[in-house]
A and B are shown apart, each in its own frame.
Chain A
């Protein structure tokens, strides 16, 4: 059974979605991610979807759910790397991904998360 890998980068969790999501995989990812956020006390989640050529309403809802779950666990979520064709399709479908922050690439995404990451420095600093 395949899983989506979750990488830890300081206080940030990096999720790179490379394959088409289906129900079970999405549930597994939500499960894994929430557990990792709690275990690592991560302050930010960065989801990279640059490998996806297709994002449908299911995928959109799943991203929204992940963002909402992370927020409850006090972690900010940014979705990065959406392809132009995907963005156009989503707009044509009338899906605007409410509640999800986006950035062009991983760099810009980390920049956006900087306040959330900085906030934790004093607490975590040893």
Chain B
């Protein structure tokens, strides 16, 4: 632990009340964090008070902020909670960082007042206050970003889930309308969804419709064939439908062998074949 050259801890301890009061009023008037009634004054007061107490405690041992050391553990935890909540409340990253940065002014004011005659000591104190507050402010931004990134990752996951619906066409017949490009990760989700639905509904035929798949290259074809093979292992038949003329040409030019699976040009043809395999017929009622 490095020893402090300045009077920073002393200033924090002696003037905690004044600093808190000034900090709060600057936050409330400055319009930064407390703007638009997103946050209650009482809550802001509580958070500020807690942060100041934690900071006063932490800087007893030095101002070098470290994301790993135990000295800053409490403050890290507090800031991560704060950033997470603010991120979900819709605050911008600069507003979150301003929470920490706005503490500078009252601290500088107190330091200047109490160290007027000792200019060397004053500049050292100001420098150390800057170091620690800058580091903490930047840390909140980092945390804010992490919180947002986790939100994005979750949405991406949900998008994958949502884009692969498995629908039941008839008793024992499932359809899987694929839309968008098939990559390995998506194929995995599609395959799992389809197989689980096969088990859940006890269906023996699955129609995979690729009308919405823009291009079929060797990789996509391989993914499709894997899905078909897995379904066959479980005792279900697959029919691939919705093959557009261009795609039929591409498949042949690429030399992809789809002979192991029934293919149909349209979903209705595939459905007709599925009905036939199930021993069902569709009849028109006369008159009525």
A binds B: yes
- Chain A interfacial positions (CB closer than 8 Å to B): 78-80, 82-85, 87-88, 90-92, 96-97, 101-105, 107-109, 112
B229 contacts A84, CB within 8 Å? no
Nearest 5 pairs of A and B residues by beta carbon: A84-B195, A102-B235, A103-B235, A87-B230, A87-B233
Among B191, B195, B204, B235, chain A packs the most CB atoms within 10 A around the CB of B235
Q: Is the CB of A91 within 8 A of B236?
A: no
8 Å CB contact of B234 from A84, A107, A112: A84
Bound: A92/B192 CA distance, A: 13
Contacts of A104 in B (CB 8 A): 198-199, 202-204, 234-236
Cα–Cα distance between A114 and B230 once the two chains are bound (Å): 24
Whether B59 sits at the interface, judged by CB under 8 Å, is no
With beta carbons under 8 angstroms apart, the residue of B188, B203, B204, B234 that contacts A87 is B234
Can you add 18 more A-B contacts, CB < 8 Å, to A84-B196, A112-B235?
A80-B235, A82-B233, A82-B234, A83-B199, A84-B191, A85-B192, A88-B192, A91-B229, A91-B230, A91-B233, A101-B235, A102-B232, A102-B234, A103-B204, A103-B235, A104-B199, A104-B203, A108-B235
Interface string of B185-207 (1 = CB under 8 A from A): 00010011001101100111000
What is the 8 Å Cβ interface bit string for chain B, positions 226-259, against chain A (1 contact, 0 not)?
1001111111100000000000000000000000
CA distance A85 to B199 in the complex (A): 12
Determine if A97 and B233 form an interchain contact, defined as CB atoms under 8 angstroms apart. Answer: yes
Q: How many residues of B contact A (CB 8 A)?
A: 19
Give Cα distance in the complex from A109 to B191, angstroms. Answer: 22
Question: CB within 8 Å of A: which of B109-167?
Answer: none
Smallest Cβ distance from B14 to chain A, in angstroms?
64
A105 to B198, alpha carbons, bound, how many Å? 10
- Report the minimum CB–CB distance from B1 to chain A (whole Å): 52
- Contact with A91, one of B196, B202, B204, B226 (Cβ below 8 angstroms): B226
Query: Which residues of chain B are near A92, meaning CB under 8 Å?
Result: 226
Given that A96-B229, A104-B202, A108-B204 are known contacts, is A88 also in contact with B195, CB under 8 Å in the complex?
yes
Let me know if B202 and A90 touch, CB within 8 A: no
Q: A87-B195, A87-B234 are in contact. Are A107 and B229 (CB under 8 A)?
A: no
Interfacial chain B residues near A107, Cβ < 8 Å: 202
Q: How far is the CA of A60 from the CA of B33 in the complex (A)?
A: 63
**Bound-complex Cα distance A87 to B257 (A):** 21
Contact between B202 and A108, CB atoms less than 8 A apart: yes
Name the distance in Å between A16's Cβ and chain B's nearest Cβ. Answer: 16
Q: How far is the CB of B172 from chain A (nearest CB, A)?
A: 9
B236 contact set on A, CB distance < 8 A: 104
B233 adjacent to A102 (CB under 8 Å) = yes
15 contacting pairs across A/B (C-beta < 8 A): A83-B199, A84-B191, A84-B230, A84-B234, A87-B231, A88-B192, A92-B226, A96-B232, A96-B233, A97-B233, A102-B235, A104-B198, A104-B204, A105-B199, A112-B235
Contact of A105 with B192 in the complex, beta carbons under 8 Å: no
A92, A107, A109, most chain B CB atoms within 10 A:
A92
Of listed B204, B230, B232, B236, residue having the most chain A CB within 10 A: B230
